[in-house]
């Protein structure tokens, strides 16, 4: 075996080890933040719903902070702060949904459906090891389309539009999960904090969209 072959084999092994490390750290941190978010949701079930502007400031402020600090230990703190904040503001909704058996069933179905979709998509990406970079255009276009639809939805209260937004978010989040997992596998994403926050937001959007659809079709919205 030539020196070039030895060097290439060494580079391949190092790359595989780096990918495995990012995958392990990402899913470990994702599991911990989801658990922390669920804990905060349980603790805030009796809290008053948060003002929409405070919610927006908290969400985007913590996302920006995480992006800025992702390459330092402080990024871990902001990830947990974001997860806890999301759990806290979701708590009142969880409390409302657990006051009757019918609503509790909707909540359980939404949680189960979210888990099934996430693990199904992640499993497919991990097993197939496909390159999902072709989804970049769809994700970019989807972001602006959904943003415009949400702004329109503030002024136009049409049930069909809200349902369309929920479906759009489910498709968008599914594409992001495939893309982000593919980026980790193929070495495009080496920062597990950024990977975690992306997957966390996608899971949250999946859950809320599925919950909205189930509530609408059950007539309990």
pLDDT tier at 115, thresholds 50, 70, 90 = very high
Is residue 107 domain-resident? yes
Please tell me the distance from the alpha carbon of residue 143 to that of residue 149, in angstroms, as a whole number.
Answer: 10
Indicate whether 20 belongs to any domain: no
Where does residue 150 rank: exposed (0-12), middle (13-18), buried (19+ CB within 10 A)?
A: middle
* Domain contains 11: no
Q: Are 200 and 191 in contact (CB under 8 A)?
A: no
Please determine, for residue 118, whether its predicted confidence score (pLDDT) is greater than 50.
Answer: yes
Q: What is the pLDDT of residues 140-187, one digit of tens each?
A: 999 999 989 888 887 877 788 889 999 999 999 999 999 999 998 887
- Angle in degrees, 0-180, between the axes of helices 192-218 and 52-69, rounded to the nearest 10: 150
Distance of CA 51 to CAs 57, 82, 89, Å?
10, 17, 10
With beta carbons less than 8 A apart as the criterion, state whether 45 and 95 touch: yes
Residue 135 lies in a domain: yes
The whole-number pLDDT of residue 161 equals 85
Residue 97 has pLDDT above 90, yes or no: no
- Classified as helix, coil or strand, 217 is helix
Sign of CA dihedral 8, 11, 12, 13: positive
In angstroms, what CA-CA distances link 87 with 34, 42, 63, 95, 151? 9, 8, 15, 12, 24
Quote the CA–CA distance of 120 and 141 in Å, as a whole number.
24
Q: What is d(CA 218, CA 85) in angstroms, rounded to the nearest whole number?
A: 29
User: Taking Cα atoms as reference points, which of 33, 57, 202, 87 lies closest to residue 95?
Assistant: 87
Name the more confident of 158 and 36: 36
Domain membership of residue 4 (yes or no) is no
Q: Is residue 18 part of a domain?
A: no
Closest CA to 23 of 128, 143, 126, 111: 126
Q: Is the pLDDT of residue 95 over 90?
A: no
Q: Which band of pLDDT confidence, cut at 50, 70 and 90, is reported for residue 12?
A: low
Helical (H) or strand (E) element with 157: none
In a domain, 50, yes or no: yes
Domain that holds residue 38: 25-218
The Cβ of residue 204 has, within 10 Å, a number of other Cβ atoms equal to: 20
Q: Strand locations in 16-170, DSSP E?
A: none
Structural domain count, the chain: 1
Residues 181/126, Cβ–Cβ less than 8 Å: yes
């Amino acid at each position: 075996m030539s020196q070039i072959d030895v060097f290439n084999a060494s580079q391949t092994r190092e790359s595989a080890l780096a990918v495995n490390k990012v995958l392990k750290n990402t899913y470990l941190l994702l599991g911990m933040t989801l658990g922390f978010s669920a804990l905060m949701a349980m603790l805030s079930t009796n809290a008053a719903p948060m003002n929409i502007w405070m919610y927006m400031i908290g969400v985007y402020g913590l996302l920006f902070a995480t992006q800025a600090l992702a390459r330092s230990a402080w990024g871990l703190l902001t990830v947990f702060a974001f997860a806890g904040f999301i759990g806290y503001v979701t708590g009142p909704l969880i409390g409302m949904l657990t006051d009757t058996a019918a609503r509790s069933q909707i909540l359980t179905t939404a949680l189960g459906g979210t888990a099934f979709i996430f693990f199904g998509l992640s499993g497919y990406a991990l097993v197939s090891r496909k390159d999902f970079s072709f989804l970049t255009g769809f994700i970019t276009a989807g972001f602006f389309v959904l943003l415009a639809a949400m702004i329109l939805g503030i002024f136009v209260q049409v049930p069909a539009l809200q349902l369309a937004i929920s479906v759009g978010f489910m498709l968008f989040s599914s594409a992001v999960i495939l893309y982000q997992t593919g980026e980790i596998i193929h070495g495009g994403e080496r920062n597990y904090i950024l990977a975690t926050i992306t997957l966390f937001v996608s899971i949250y959007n999946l859950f809320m969209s599925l919950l909205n659809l189930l509530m609408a079709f059950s007539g309990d919205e």
